[in-house]
Amino acid sequence: MRFSIGIDDFKTIRTTASPNGQLSFYVDKSLLIEDILNDGAGVVVIPRPRRFGKTLNLSMLKYFFDMTEDNAALFDGLKIADNKNIMENWQGKYPVIFISFKNLKSQNFEQFKTDLKFVISGCYKQFEYLRSSEKLTVLDKAQIEHYFAEDFADSGFTYSLKYLTEMLKKHHDQNVIVLIDEYDTPLQEAYMYNFFKDAIEPFRNMLGAVLKGNTDLYKGVITRIAKESMFSGLNNLKVYDMTTYRYASYFGFTEEDVRLVCDPAHLADLKSWYNGYTFGDNLTIYNPWSILNFLSNDYKLEPYWINTSSNDLIKESLTADKMEGVKTLIDGKSIVVGIEPFTVMDNLKGNKTAFWNLLFMAGFLTLDADKKMRIPNKEIQYFFEKIVLEWFSGSGNTQFLSDFLTALITGFAEKVQICLSSIMMESFSFHDVDILKKESFYHGFLLGLSLGLKGRYTIKSNRESGFGRYDIALYPNNPTKDAGVIIEVKMNQESAEGAILQIQDKAYATDLRLHGCQTIHLYGIHFDGKQVTTKLVTELQPSCPCN
C-alpha cells in the first residue's frame, strides 16, 4: 500500500499513482461535505492540532465546490458520491477562495506585512480572469488591480478578501465559499517575536470584513490550531472544538480507520503510542501523521508527530510555576483546568489556564472521562519529558543538567549551589521579576529540575511525612544504593539554615527512612531573586545489627 507523507492536496492524493499504478491510501472523510452543507452556521470554525488533516479536508472542500474546473471524478467511490442530490446540486457550483496562512512565519512586523501581502496577492492570482471579466466594471477592476501585485498599501489589508468575494460574485453570479487554513500560525510567530498586538489588528480587520455581514458569502470554513478571541464578535460564527461531537470523526483516524490499514497485531502498540485523544462524545482518535509514518517506516514506534514543529511557543510559555502540573501529567495523572471558549495568546505566561488550554487545543493534552486534562499517549509523554529537560538544561546543555542532578543525589552541596546560580542567571531575565517573588516559582523550578531523575527516582512534592509537608522528596528506586533527598525552599527573610531546622524539627525524612534509604541528604535552599544559598545536612542510617 502507498502512503503519502506530507501531501495535503486532495487532488494529488486522488490522482497521482506510483509507477505500478498504485494510488495513495486515503481515509474517506468526504461526508464532511454533507455536514458542512447541513450546518446552519454561516462560518464554521474547527480548531484541531497540526497534522490532523485540516489542510487536506479544506482542499477536499475546495475541489468539491469549485466551479472553475470539473473535479467530479475525484469523488468516485467515496461516500459523498452516494448522495446524488448533493452531487447534482452542489458539486462544482461555487467560486471558492482557499487561502492558507500556515507557512506565514515572520520574525518582525514589517516582514509580516510583506509576507501577508504575498499570500493575498497569490490568492488573487488564482483568479486572473477577473482582470478581463466583461461582468466587472472599470471601477470594479480598478478596485482590485493593485492586489495582483505584492506592494499594495497597508490600508488595503482590511477589504482585500471582501473585495475578492464581491468580484467573484459579480462574475459568476453565485455566492462564494471562503476556506481559511490556520490563520493563527502567523499570530503564534508574532507572539514569539513580540509583535502580536501589531499583527492581530490587520488580521482581525481583514477576516472580520470578509466573514461578518458579507452578503456575497455562501459559507466560510476556518481551521486553526488554537482558539483565539479575535472572532468573538462574529454572530454568524460557530466554533466546533474537540469537545463537540459534530465533525469529531473527520480529523484524525478513528478506530475503524486504523483497522482498515493496520495489522491487528500492531493495534495494542498503536493504541498506547498514538491513540488516546478524545473528541466529542468519547470518540477516541489516533494521530494520523504518526500512524502514516509508522506504516511507512517498517512499523517503528517513534515520536513522529512532536518533531513536526519547533514547539517554541510552548517552550516560551512554560514557566517554573507550571511544573507542578507538568509533573502531575508526567506521572500519568490528570489536572483540573477550566476549558476556555477562547484562548488569549498574549497572556500565555501569566495565565496558567490559557497555557493548559493551548496545550489542549494543540494536541498535547486531551480530556479524560471526568473532563480533566491528561497526556493522551506515549508519544506525548516523551514530549513532556523531553521539553522539561530542554527547558532546564539551558541552551541545550544537557551535560549541565546531568552535573546538577549528580551533585544533588551525591551530596555535593557546593556544586548544587553553583549549578542553580548559573541556570538562574541564564534562564531568567528582569521580565520575570514578578514571578521571582513567588515561592511557588522556585518550588516548581526545583521540581522541574528533579524530573531529570525520573526512572531512577520517584519524585514527590507537598506530601505529608513526619509532622508536616515537605516541599520536594526524591525516593530512590534502589534505596540501599542511592541516597534519598529532601528539599525545603525558603525565600525573603528566611534562610537555608532555617529550612534545614524545619526539615529536622518536622521529621520530614521519616518516610524516606521507612522507604529503606541508608543515606538521606537534607537540602535547605534559599532564593533571593537570582541569588541562591544552599545548606546541606546528610543523615546516615545505622546498619542493621541482625545476622
Q: Are the beta carbons of 424 and 530 closer than 8 angstroms? A: yes
Mean pLDDT across the stretch 155-181? 97
In a domain, 184, yes or no: yes
Task: Give the highest mean pLDDT range of 221-225, 266-270, 306-310.
Answer: 266-270
In a domain, 14, yes or no: no
Q: Are the beta carbons of 60 and 29 closer than 8 angstroms? A: yes
In a domain, 477, yes or no: yes
Which domain range does residue 220 map to?
A: 28-250
- Label residue 148 exposed, middle or buried (CB < 10 Å: 0-12, 13-18, 19+): middle
Task: Give per-residue pLDDT as tens, 107-135.
Answer: 999 999 999 999 999 999 999 999 999 99
Kindly tell me if the per-residue pLDDT of 311 is higher than 80.
no
Rounded to whole angstroms, the Cα distance separating 153 from 145 reads 12
Same-domain status, 97 and 126 = yes
Residue after which a domain boundary falls, among 393, 417, 450: 393
CATH number, position 107: 3.40.50
In a domain, 472, yes or no: yes
Mean pLDDT across the stretch 465-469? 88
Q: Are the beta carbons of 411 and 521 closer than 8 angstroms? A: yes
Same-domain status, 204 and 58 = yes
In a domain, 123, yes or no: yes
In a domain, 481, yes or no: yes
- CB-side neighbour CA atoms (13 Å) of 6: 3
Residue 224 to residues 50, 467, 498: CA-CA distances in angstroms? 8, 51, 51
Rounded to whole angstroms, the Cα distance separating 39 from 300 reads 40
- At residue 59, the 3 state secondary structure works out as helix
In a domain, 546, yes or no: no
Query: What residues contact 149, with CB distance under 8 A and at least 6 apart?
Result: 121
Band (pLDDT 50/70/90 cuts) for residue 385 is confident
For 50, other C-beta atoms within 10 Å of its C-beta total 16
Q: Are the beta carbons of 290 and 273 closer than 8 angstroms? A: yes
Residue after which a domain boundary falls, among 372, 393, 414: 393
Q: How many separate domains does the chain show? A: 4
Same-domain status, 96 and 230 = yes
pLDDT-wise least confident of 244-253, 256-265, 333-342, 370-379: 333-342
pTM of the shown model: 0.86
Same-domain status, 156 and 290 = no
- CB-side neighbour CA atoms (13 Å) of 221: 21
Rounded to whole angstroms, the Cα distance separating 74 from 206 reads 32
Write out the E strands in 8-162: 43-47, 96-100
Same-domain status, 34 and 100 = yes
Query: What residues contact 364, with CB distance under 8 A and at least 6 apart?
Result: 314, 375, 380, 383, 384
Rounded to whole angstroms, the Cα distance separating 429 from 390 reads 18
Same-domain status, 127 and 151 = yes
Same-domain status, 99 and 230 = yes
Residue after which a domain boundary falls, among 267, 285, 309: 309
CATH number, position 424: 3.40.1350
Same-domain status, 381 and 485 = no
Q: Which residue is it, cell 501581502?
A: 117
Residue 89 to residues 65, 67, 86, 94, 367: CA-CA distances in angstroms? 10, 12, 5, 10, 39
Instruction: Please give, one letter per residue, the 3-state secondary structure of 281-319.
Output: CCEEEECHHHHHHHHHCCCCCCCCHHHCCCCHHHHHHCC
Q: Are the beta carbons of 520 and 485 closer than 8 angstroms? A: yes
Q: Which helix (H) or strand (E) holds 161?
A: helix 160-172
The full DSSP string for 92-114 is T-B-EEEEE-TT---SSHHHHHH
Band (pLDDT 50/70/90 cuts) for residue 431 is very low
- At residue 208, the 3 state secondary structure works out as helix
What pLDDT score was predicted for residue 528? 85
Band (pLDDT 50/70/90 cuts) for residue 545 is very low
DSSP 228: -
Radius of gyration of the chain from its Cα atoms, rounded to whole angstroms: 28
Same-domain status, 382 and 484 = no
Question: What are the backbone dihedrals phi and psi of residue 105, each rounded to the nearest 5 degrees, phi first?
Answer: -130, 80
Task: Give per-residue pLDDT as tens, 193-252.
Answer: 989 889 988 988 999 999 999 999 999 999 986 655 566 566 678 889 999 999 999 999
Largest CA distance in the chain: 104
Same-domain status, 369 and 430 = no
Question: What are the backbone dihedrals phi and psi of residue 303, each rounded to the nearest 5 degrees, phi first?
Answer: -80, 80
For 344, left (φ over 0), alpha (ψ -120 to 50), or beta? beta
In a domain, 23, yes or no: no
For 220, other C-beta atoms within 10 Å of its C-beta total 25
Same-domain status, 289 and 377 = no
For 448, other C-beta atoms within 10 Å of its C-beta total 23
Kindly tell me if the per-residue pLDDT of 524 is higher than 80.
yes
Query: What residues contact 147, with CB distance under 8 A and at least 6 apart?
Result: 120, 121, 124, 156, 160, 163, 164
Q: Which residue is it, cell 525565600?
A: 491
Higher pLDDT, 442 or 123: 123
Q: Are the beta carbons of 507 and 467 closer than 8 angstroms? A: yes
